[in-house]
Amino acid sequence: MNTNSIQTRISELFPDIVTQIDQIFDFEKLESYFQFLKDYNEIGGFFSKSDSENILDRHIVESVVHIYKILLAHPVSHETRLVDIGTGPGLPGYIFYTLKNPPYITLIDSQMRRLGILEKFHTEKYKDSKVKFVYARVEDIKEKFDLVIMRSTIKYPWSAEMIYGLLKLNSSFIPFLAKRNYDLKFEQMFLENLGLKIEKDFDIPELEFLGNRHVKVLKKIAESKKGFPRKWEAISKEIKRTSWEK
């Protein structure tokens, strides 16, 4: 294994920010996790056949840059309690563990197949209780967190409604988003119903070689209005009948 493959790739793509990234990430841990994804991809069914050839760029590098940008906009410390919903083999939540000063991390997925392999890897290699593995549906989780993240499990903005129960007052939800394929007026009304406010909204031009990428920091500033959040069945039906794709 090339022990500097991630750092080399980041240096090639982002020479202006590689030093800053190097200051906050543990590249040895990143390389170990990258190797894990490659070694167990086939048995765990982590990625499609075509995506398997792009694990470094589309999953490791993309998540690292996302997290770097998030840390510039939103405080995350060793005391932060973070949860990643629909994490699969730990993306992007486990990347937070490769920070030099990682938060407390809970990885949630309703299926054990992929996340269970990561739990075994983590337990045997690090024996670190800062990472917790939970096999459950998000609506069954009763715990509250400081920060909720989600990569692409549920379409935005409905993802905010699905994770609402995990938010305490003044905590935040940060979805990792691609192109802006949602109606802005609907988004504003939707978030107001949930007592959520957009604190930050920014593009990530560094990742344009992968496509459009942007991030929102949504803060819970009030309790939701009556009737919200709804059950998954109602949310799912609304998602299916609503489309702004062009």
Output the tens digit of pLDDT for each of the chain's 246 residues.
445 799 999 999 999 999 999 999 999 999 999 999 999 999 999 998 888 889 999 999 999 999 999 999 999 999 999 999 999 999 999 999 999 999 999 999 999 999 999 999 999 999 899 999 999 999 999 999 999 999 988 999 999 999 999 999 999 999 999 999 999 999 999 999 999 999 999 999 999 999 999 999 999 999 999 999 999 999 999 999 886 554
- 216 DSSP β-pair partners: 201
pLDDT of residue 242: 84
CA terminus-to-terminus distance, the chain = 42
User: What element of type H or E holds 185?
Assistant: helix 184-193
Tokens of 66: 């996302």
Domains present along the chain, CATH in parentheses: 5-241 (3.40.50.150)
pLDDT of residue 246: 43
CA 233 from centre of chain: 23
pLDDT of residue 119: 98
pLDDT of residue 1: 41
pLDDT of residue 53: 86
pLDDT of residue 45: 94
pLDDT of residue 3: 52
pLDDT of residue 218: 98
87 vs 90: CA distance, rounded Å: 5
Encoded amino acid at 194, one letter: L
| 196-203 and 104-109 beta bridge pairing | unpaired
User: What element of type H or E holds 117?
Assistant: helix 112-125
Residue 58 DSSP code = I
243 vs 180: CA distance, rounded Å: 12
